[in-house]
Amino acid sequence: MSTMTLTENELTRRSRLTLLALTALFLAAMDATVVGTLIPVFRHEFDQPQEFPWLMSGFILAAVLAMPLSGLLADRMGLKRVIIGSLALFMAGSVVVAMAPDMRSLIGGRVLQGVGSGGITVLVYTLIGGLYGPEERGRMQGLLSAVWGLAAIAGPVIGAAVHTWIDWHWVFWANVPLISVLILAAALLMPEEDLQPSVSGFDLAGFTGFCALASGVLLWLMAPDGPGDDMIRMGYAGVTLTGVLLVAQSLWRRRERAFLAVEFFRERSFVAVMISILLSAAILYACVTLLPVYMVEVLGRSLVDAGGVVLAASLGWVVGATVCGNLVNRLGTRNCTMLGFLLLLAGAGLLLAPGLNTLFAVLLLAQVSVGVGIGFVATATLILAQNRTRPQRLGQVTAAVQVFRQLGAAVGINALGALFISGSSAGAEAQALQMSFAVLGACALAGLLSALLIRDPRKASGQEVSQ
């Protein structure tokens, strides 16, 4: 949608819808980093502290499963209905978290929040992708990524401040009136759509397979590692393999009717985008989940210091997303993605530096580098995916981008969380963290190599859109 062809009333309506989208995304994104900062508090307050990774990965897994379904439903039922439903689910989850009496209730509320957040995220990106044409998407997707970063900056500050001055429960109670206003605004501002979906029918086998794949991987990573637990791990591995087979069958037989966007499995650039998103998200979210716990419980730093590390990554994301959004048309998505992975590799290298990775200033610098890197990778890969797909496939392709990001985050949190927990039980927390940082560095290097596979014209603009 070009600005030159819009009337004054249409521009006003587009601005209001953009404000609605940015606000909804801000609230959904902020809750992720609020919890990241509060994890040491939850570990102290509730029983079963070893289950803390599920506070993040349970939220993310639910979002992962909700995202492609939300994109598919939006293409068939319309954005308005699905985004209002997603907002309502997010609000309900916030109430459950605020009232949780124990760790598992807390995790359950986070899962419900994740379902709503997944829908909000993908539908906001889809809404913006529909409101703005290819020539404006670079700027707008950079703005959306900056909102993610701003929310991540606000999250640690708000979480630490509210817990210190009032009580952490009010972080989640505050969502109720705010989300209520957004639901009302969406009902009034968003028009009913004249839907013309390109395909019909719901891919139940593909959806079931994806659920099995994602759940099996995460459960396998967090499975107990004691005597007699081999059968449990084998069971989770069987669930994962079943999911892989169902997803592969769905993609082969249904193609564009498949639950996951088939583009990411048949074109080289899309495959590279998928790999880049998975790896970059694993690096970022593993860092912002594990470092606060390490700083508070191992280094003896304060909750404010731990929040400062998360804030540094978030600020870096804002800067990276904003700069990338302005440069991507000149540098191209491949170069921007490679630059992002170089920054991620530099951040992991600082975290590995012997004798330096206990210094607060070094941890801050490393997280800024990681944040700027994810800002570049996230923005460039999303622009490439959206600009290379047909308008009627925009919802499903956008959903797939968000799915891969959340799946990478969940796998990164659970994999390195399991490594950290194992090291903690053996009294070797520092060594476990060193190993985790080495894994993150390897992921950054693999992502840099995957970015070389991207076929990218000098400009990521309208000429890339498939006609």
- Residue 78 CA to residue 229 CA, distance in Å, equals 46
pLDDT at 1 over 60: no
Instruction: Tell which residue, 421, 150, 441, 457, has the closest CA to residue 293.
Output: 421
Given a cut of 90, is residue 6 above it in pLDDT?
no
Judge if 232 and 266 occupy the same domain.
no
Q: How far apart are CA 323 and CA 321, in angstroms?
A: 6
Taking residues 184-210, report their average pLDDT. 71
253 and 288, same structural domain? no
**If you compute the radius of gyration of the chain from its CA atoms, what whole number of angstroms results?**
21
- In sequence order, what DSSP letters do the residues of 170-189 get, joined into one string? HHHHTHHHHHHHHHHHHHHH
Range from 285-299, 322-336, 451-465 carrying the lowest mean pLDDT: 451-465
The helix-helix angle for 394-425 and 429-451 (nearest 10°) equals 150
Question: Which range is most confident: 58-62, 110-114, 322-326?
Answer: 110-114
Give yes or no: residues 352 and 440 share one domain. Answer: yes
Are residues 182 and 223 part of one domain? no
- Whether the Cβ atoms of residue 51 and residue 164 lie closer than 8 Å to each other: no
Residue 198 within a domain: no
Residue 463 has a pLDDT of 39
% of the chain residues with pLDDT over 70: 80
Q: Which two tokens stand for residue 40?
A: 């040491």
- Cβ(402)–Cβ(25) below 8 Å: no
Give yes or no for residue 195 having a pLDDT over 70.
Answer: no
- Identity of the amino acid at 398: T
Inside any domain, residue 199: no
How many other β-carbons are positioned within 10 Å of the β-carbon of residue 213? 21
Q: Do 337 and 317 share a domain, yes or no?
A: yes
Specify the residue for token string 């592969």.
Answer: 248
Do 56 and 158 belong together in one domain? yes
Compute the distance between CA of residue 419 and CA of residue 413 in angstroms, rounded to an integer. Answer: 10
Q: Are residues 425 and 362 in the same domain?
A: yes
Q: Which residue has the higher pLDDT, 290 or 59?
A: 59
- How far from each other are the two terminal CA atoms of the chain, in whole angstroms? 15
Task: Tell me: do 219 and 288 sit in the same domain.
Answer: no
User: Based on the domain organization, do 449 and 321 belong to the same domain?
Assistant: yes
Residue 466 predicted with pLDDT over 50? no
Structure confidence at residue 224 (pLDDT) = 58
Structure tokens at 2: 């070009």
The b-or-e profile of 106-144 (16+ CB within 10 A means b, else e) is bbbbbbbbbbbbbbbbbbbbbbbbbbbbbeebbebbbbb
Sign, Cα dihedral of 385, 387, 392, 395: positive
**Cα–Cα distance for residue pair 357/372, rounded to 1 Å:** 19
pLDDT of residue 460: 40
Task: Give a yes or no: residue 53 inside a domain.
Answer: yes
What is the number of other CB atoms lying within 10 angstroms of the CB of residue 351?
24
Domain count within the chain: 2
Confidence of residue 283 (pLDDT cuts 50, 70, 90): confident
Helix, strand, or coil here: 100?
A: coil
Tell me the mean pLDDT in the region 362-380. Answer: 88
pLDDT in tens, 382-406: 888 777 776 666 666 777 777 788 7
Within a domain: residue 197?
A: no
Q: Please indicate, yes or no, if residue 144 is contained in any of the structural domains.
A: yes
Domain that includes residue 223, residue range: 204-260
CATH (domain of 84): 1.20.1250.20
**Are residues 456 and 398 part of one domain?**
yes
Q: Could you tell me the pTM of the whole model?
A: 0.68
Report residue 396 CA to chain centroid gap. Answer: 16
pLDDT of residue 183: 92
What's the pLDDT score for residue 116? 92
- 235, two tokens: 């069971």
pLDDT at 261: 66
Q: Which residues contact 308 (CB under 8 A, 6 or more apart)?
A: 156, 360, 364
On whether the CB atoms of residues 141 and 336 are closer than 8 A, the answer is no
Local confidence band at 417 (pLDDT 50, 70, 90 cut-offs): confident
130 and 44 together in one domain:
yes
φ/ψ of residue 64, rounded to 5: -60, -45
Tell me the pLDDT tens digit for each residue of 157-184.
787 778 778 888 888 898 899 999 999 9
Q: Tell me whether residue 242 is in a domain.
A: yes
Q: Is residue 73 part of a domain?
A: yes
Q: Is residue 425 part of a domain?
A: yes
Shared domain for 250 and 297, answered yes or no, is: no
